[in-house]
Amino acid sequence: MAAEMREPIESGCPDGFQYMHPVMRRNYGQWLYHEDPRPGVLVHVARSGEKIWTVRAGTQRILDVFTLRKLMDIGDQYGEGFVRFTIRSNIEYMVADGEKVEPLVKALEDAGFPVGGTRNSVTTLSHTQGWLHCDIPGTDASGVVKAMMDELIDEFKGWNMPNRVHMTTSCCQINCGGQGDIAINVQHVKPPKINHALVGNICERPSVVARCPVAAIRPAMVDGKPSLEVDEKKCICCGACYPPCPPMQINDHQYTQLAIWIGGNHSNARGKPTFQRLVAAGIPNNPPRWPEATAIVKKILQCYKEGARDWERMNEWVERIGWPRFFEVTGLPFTKYHIDNWRGARNNLNSSTHIRF
Amino acid sequence: MATKHYPTPMLDVLEEGPWPSFITGIKNLRDNHPNERIRNMTNGVLGQLEHSYETRMGYWKGGTISVFGYGGGIIPRFSEVGHMFPESKEFHTLRVQPPAGNYYSTDMLRQLADSWEKYGSGLQTFHGQTGNIMFIGSDSKNYQGFFDEINDYGWDLGGAGPCVRTGMSCVGAARCEMSNCNEQAIHRHLLNNFTDDVHRPALPYKFKFKVSGCPNDCMNAIERADFAIIGTWRDDMKVNQAEVKNAIMKKAAEIGKEGDRAAGRQYMFDNVISRCPTGAIKLNDDDTMTVDNSNCVRCMHCLNVMPKALQTGDDKGVSILMGGKRTLKIGDLMGTVIIPFMKMDTDEDYERIKELASTVIDYWAENGLEHERCGEMIERIGLVNFLEGIGIDPDPNMIQQPRNVSYVRMDGWDEAAEEWFNRKREEKMAAA
């Protein structure tokens, strides 16, 4: 068999210029400014005077070939055959002819792809794989995103927010989903359930012991078989032991819940990049529409929209009004679980008399 | 002929509502695709997904598979409930490296769709969180054929496992006036210098490169990359005074106060001048703007608000931050500035950045613990040891503030101070 195997061509990352719109190739590095004619549309002007219009639309991220071809048909019929995808799985069509913008927008909207996601909108949630494909998911991602974007579509299509809102989801606490102004992440609340009959055969036990962030796992003999045991008082239920050792089942239909974090901001604009902060937990992992999580997200967005000044990202708004007021205006409970006790925790405590009354 | 469809009452609910539905798409493959294999696979995967929705549990298990000659790049998925849904009991994902900035022609995407249809489930994602094109759903018989076909016309696998991962770059110089570097060139020089480390996982854990052309950092590089390259500039930003005046009047019109210069100025005070983190900009009485460039930290805010009036400078380059990562294992870490500024113009500059990346990866491969990200290693051994390990001199741009604890052994102080003065002298001579 091996003789017939084809040697791979290790070409690595392909050359992007071959897929760029010719106007973009010609004006590479020579852009002067851009304007935002309407939500979901950008026009960039080069030093040469050439212009390129971009139309951005939301997609379902998990694309089937029919939908992909439909998007390409739109790109050929109404666009100029060149597209790209944003980090949040929005598709962008680039055209040199401004007359094509409105028909392109209409074609996308008619085909069910909302146009928007630029400037001070709520753009598509970036998301992970979830139950559809991940080996350690506590929830689904595509479903959560679909359910939330159904409710937030007007915020995607409009410019109603003080600044851009980036949202993310993660299906486990390892958190592939990244930072967001609002992040909806899995939170486990019980230690893993261990299938002792399987651990010895499946898991490399020293690696699993080393993986635990709080040293709560140790080797043990259970029923005469080599296994692992968890000090449940120390365990923080993070699930880090589960990927290298699937018999340490962390997911649970009841005790795998959702938590909401806010204020993650990767831009350096105005302030330095910030991490997201826990605001709400104990939210049921409730497919197929996760209404409880969506309700909290909408409430936070509404308070932000009403309370923040122009250009304030979520973290800047909270920094200005203070966390006590955040909990007051959103009506979310403040609990002992909001108080950091991880390494470096005291940096997160208030060591001043800066208190609002 | 008609395959029995697994019932999907919960998933059906996700067909309602205005946002595009992935369920409708998968069902379309199940019901209407001419290829029976695709109809069956998507039927199976819908059945398993419904089962997940009902029981609130996932049922995929990993494993180890790859294409001939590689050790990674494929996420193997074997179903734990394959006896219930045998059509999709193997549902592997191929991670394919996109071009920097995620550019495609419609022709190329059609070609990829045609190939994928021959071998896979017909489902794909642009893109996964690491930045790959994810071709989701191939069985063990078919992934090699798919890879061979697309590899022949220019596509290669990305990283999976403890290896150099697929990189990510922003839209960049191709379409953004904020860009300060050639993201395409940086991305390809770095990634393609490490193809061996992408395809054959042999590092302590994952290692990610991300390139953002300006400090807006649209790629989330500082927070998510072990090696973040951020475009920046070090001379004065450019101010088009006529456009500053226009921006004031345009803003007045936008906020419903057409012709009201005072209202436009007030908006600028509230949203530009007072938002400058270092108080480096002034709006003068004649509607011109004065910038104290020596105190500008290139935060981008004023340029974001007034893209027509303000532009980045001409002396462009990059800042490099290292050690960013997500939660596992010790909690989130932002990257730390290691190279405050570096030109990226000449071939030598590109050689230097590749050498730097190689040095860092080698040092980490040597000193990192199993499953320890570069940033976690830096945290464990301290930044000073890391800097000494990779041969970089300390720089005050690396810190937020100097240490506040006196518990440190300082018997090398005199030599360190002398080195600092020597370096300063050399820099001065080099500049002269």
pLDDT in tens, B64-98: 899 999 999 999 999 999 999 999 999 999 999 99
Tokens 């419904």 — which residue? B50
Partner residue facing A246 (CB), from B18, B61, B104: B61
Chain A touched by B20 (CB under 8 Å): yes
Residue B384: what are its φ and ψ, rounded to 5°? -60, -45
Q: Rounded distance, CA B273 to CA B22, Å?
A: 45
Query: Which pLDDT tens digit goes with each residue over B182-221?
Result: 999 999 999 999 999 999 999 999 999 999 999 999 999 9
Q: Which residues of B touch A310 (CB under 8 A)?
A: 270-271
Interface membership of B195 toward A (CB under 8 Å): yes
A211 has a pLDDT exceeding 80: yes
Do the chains contact at B20 and A58, CB–CB below 8 Å? yes
Residue type, A35: E
CATH number corresponding to B1-160? 3.30.70.2500
A36/A47 Cα distance (integer angstroms): 18
Q: Are strands A62-64 and A51-57 parallel, antiparallel or unpaired?
A: unpaired
Helix (H) or strand (E) holding A54: strand A51-57
Instruction: Please answer yes or no on whether B156 and A10 come within 8 Å at the CB atom.
Output: yes
Closest CA to A276 of B326, B46, B52, B314: B326
B316 interface with A at CB cutoff 8 Å: no
Q: Give the DSSP letter of residue B207.
A: B
What is the set of domains in chain A, with CATH numbers?
18-111 (3.30.70.3340), 122-189+253-340 (3.30.413.10), 193-236 (3.30.70.20)
CB-based contacts of A300: which residues, under 8 Å, 6+ apart? A182, A260, A262, A279, A314, A330
Residue-averaged pLDDT of chain B: 97
Nearest to B216 by CA among B299, B125, B307, B338: B299
Q: How many CB pairs under 8 A join A and B?
A: 365
Mean pLDDT score, B388-411:
97
Q: Would you state the pLDDT for residue A2?
A: 52
For the segment B250-269, the average pLDDT, to the nearest whole number, is 96
Contact A146 B19 (CB under 8 A): yes
ipTM tops 0.85: yes
Tell me the residues of chain A between 119 and 138 that have a Cβ less than 8 Å away from chain B.
Answer: 126-138
A143 vs B: CB within 8 A: yes
**Which of B48, B53, B125, B370 is the best residue to mutate to test the A interface, defined by the most A CB atoms within 10 Å of its own CB?**
B125
Q: Check if B44 contacts A (Cβ < 8 Å).
A: no
In B272-412, which ranges are continuous DSSP H helix? 301-305, 347-367, 374-381, 383-390
CATH number of B238-311: 3.30.70.20
Angle between helices A291-307 and A142-157 (to 10 degrees): 30
Nearest residue to B210 (alpha-carbon basis) of B202, B218, B200, B198: B218
| Cβ within 8 Å of A, B 345-384 | 369-371
Nearest CB among B107, B191, B299 relative to A269 is that of: B299
Whether A134 shows a pLDDT value over 80: the answer reads yes
Q: Provide the 3-class DSSP secondary structure of residue A33.
A: strand
Band (pLDDT 50/70/90 cuts) for residue B63 is: confident
**Contact in structure between A141 and A171 (CB atoms under 8 Å):** yes
Q: Does B246 touch chain A (CB under 8 A)?
A: no
pLDDT above 90 for A4:
no
Predicted pLDDT at B201:
96
Asked if B74 contacts B157 with a C-beta cutoff of 8 angstroms, the reply is: yes
**Mean pLDDT of the A163-184 span:** 90
Please, which residues have CB within 8 angstroms of residue A15's CB and are 6 or more apart in sequence?
A: B99, B184, B188
Q: What is the mean pLDDT of residues B1-12?
A: 86
**pLDDT greater than 90 at residue A176:** no
pLDDT digits (tens, 9 = 90+) for B367-384: 999 999 999 999 999 999
Q: Compute the distance between CA of residue A12 and CA of residue A10 in angstroms, rounded to an integer.
A: 6
Task: List CB contacts (< 8 A) between B26 and chain A.
Answer: 62, 64
Q: Measured between beta carbons, which residues in chain B are less than 8 angstroms from residue A142? A: 22
**pLDDT band, very low/low/confident/very high, at B163 (cuts 50, 70, 90):** very high
Q: How confident is the model at residue A68 (pLDDT cuts 50, 70, 90)?
A: very high
**Mean pLDDT value across residues B13-18:** 98
| Confidence (pTM) | 0.97
Span B270-294, mean pLDDT?
98
Say whether residue B342 is in contact with chain A using an 8 A CB cutoff: no
Domain pair B1-160 / B238-311, same fold: yes
In whole angstroms, give the CA distance from residue B304 to residue B316.
Answer: 18
User: What does the pLDDT read at residue B1?
Assistant: 43
**Residue A89 near residue B134, CB atoms below 8 Å:** no
pLDDT tens-digit readout, B25-59: 999 999 999 999 999 999 999 999 999 999 999 99
Q: In the predicted model, what is the mean pLDDT of residues B313-319?
A: 98
For the record, the structure tokens of B238 come out as 């450019």
Distance CA B334, CA B324 (A): 4
Nearest partner of A258 among A351, A338, A140, A341, judged by Cα:
A140
Confidence bin at A178 (pLDDT 50/70/90)? confident
Q: Find out whether A200 and A167 touch, Cβ atoms under 8 Å.
A: no
CATH superfamily for domain B168-232+315-406: Sulfite Reductase Hemoprotein, domain 1 (3.30.413.10)
Q: Which two tokens stand for residue A355?
A: 């208190």
Rounded to a whole number of angstroms, the distance from the CA of A269 to the nearest CA of chain B is 4
Long-range contacts of A283-287 (CB under 8 A, 24+ apart): A283/A257, A283/A258, A283/A259, A284/A257, A284/A258, A285/A138, A285/A139, A285/A186, A285/A256, A285/A257, A285/A258, A285/B56, A287/A139, A287/A140, A287/A143, A287/B10, A287/B53, A287/B56
Torsion of Cα atoms, B366 then B371 then B375 then B377, to 10°: -50
In this complex, do A213 and B97 lie within 8 Å of one another by their Cβ atoms? Answer: no
Q: Across the interface, do B110 and A72 touch by the CB < 8 Å criterion?
A: yes
At A200 the pLDDT is 95
* Domain residue limits, chain B: 1-160, 168-232+315-406, 238-311
Element (H, E) at B42: helix B36-55
Q: What is the mean pLDDT of residues A148-173?
A: 96
Chain B residue closest in CA terms to A81: B106
- Give me the amino acid identity at B152: D
Percent of chain B surpassing pLDDT 90:
98
B119-147 pLDDT, tens digit per residue, is 999 999 999 999 999 999 999 999 999 99
d(CA A21, CA B172): 14
Reduced to 3 states, what is the DSSP secondary structure of residue A85?
strand
pLDDT of residue A245: 96
